[in-house]
Amino acid sequence: MISAILTCHNEERFIAQAIESIVAQTAYDLIGEIIVVNDGSRDGSQAVLDEISAHNEKLEIIRADGVGVSAARNMAIARARGDFIAFLDGDDFWVPEKLERQLPAFALASEVGLVYSDFYDFTQMDLSDSQFIPVRAYHLSRQLPLAEYFVHDAPIIPSTIIVRREVFDTVGLFDAGMELSEDTEMVLRIAERWHFEHVPGGLTFKRRHGGNATSSLERLGQVGEVLVKRVVERNPSMKPLAAKSLSRRYASAGNDCVKQGRRRDGIRYLRKALTKNPFAWRIYVYLAIAMGPAWLEGSARRGFWTLKRLAARW
């Protein structure tokens, strides 16, 4: 049985679409429960949830008082009864074949603890600006994915993943003390003990809007340092890879700053990334975009993603 877990915080406009995408799953019969944690919403989210609940017996609503996304997910995990847990943020949604495509990956081996996929990034309700985001593919192998994920990330975002329930018995729950990158911190812990399996294709639509963590970009570099330190403390063999890991996280923070129009901050992070790994060619691409004319940025990024997709096929 699958437990679908959603978190909702002031997502009155989107939460119905998220739940509808679960109900529309071709593997809906395998979903035993849909657990939504309404975490201190001050808009009409609760009224929307109550209306849906009246017509869906699988829907269970937990009300919390602004405990944060990690604690909210932990509350739902503690309540979940499924053998597999599928996460979905309240402002994202799945394509109908998402669960049907991903579930067979767990049958490859009992060591597969997490299955994930590519996704689409979008802002417009009509999906007119949706962009396919291919992510690094990890597959079952002799070695655990920790070293590769530690350096390269993916990214593996919560709305794309399904996790074997017993994984949480071995690695613990989300760190409720983290306000940023709590999902990455969890995936790093999973990578220490379990194998990943990537299912290709955009199976999730990830919404990007003003409510996302734009105001927290300044702290992303600091959070990256904390993540790297924790991994090395638990796994001393990862110490030689720490500089490359930090470089990638600085580069990610810098690239995000540039996307949000904060070019000076972005260039500062990107230069910091180069001091950790001067051989990372993508950082030079990001710097060129950051230092080029603003009107050329969109075309440059589209060209970069095209090259990245072609490189992934070679």
Domain ranges across the chain:
2-207, 219-313
Q: What is the pLDDT along the chain (314 residues), one digit of tens a residue?
A: 999 999 999 999 999 999 999 999 999 999 999 999 999 999 999 999 999 999 999 999 999 999 999 999 999 999 999 999 999 999 999 999 999 999 999 999 999 999 999 999 999 989 998 999 999 999 998 899 999 999 998 899 999 999 999 999 999 999 999 888 899 999 999 999 999 999 999 999 999 865 444 445 667 777 888 999 999 999 999 999 999 999 988 888 888 888 778 888 888 889 999 999 998 888 888 888 888 766 455 555 555 445 455 444 33
Token pair for 200? 């290709």
Q: Alpha-carbon distance 85 to 103, whole Å?
A: 11
Q: How many C-beta neighbours within 10 Å does residue 306 have?
A: 10
CATH superfamily name and code, 2-207: Spore Coat Polysaccharide Biosynthesis Protein SpsA; Chain A (3.90.550.10)
DSSP state letters, 284-304: HHHHHHHHS-GGGHHHHHHHH
Of the candidates 177, 133, 178, the residue with the CA atom closest to the CA atom of residue 154: 133
Half-sphere exposure of 1 (CA within 13 A, CB side): 9
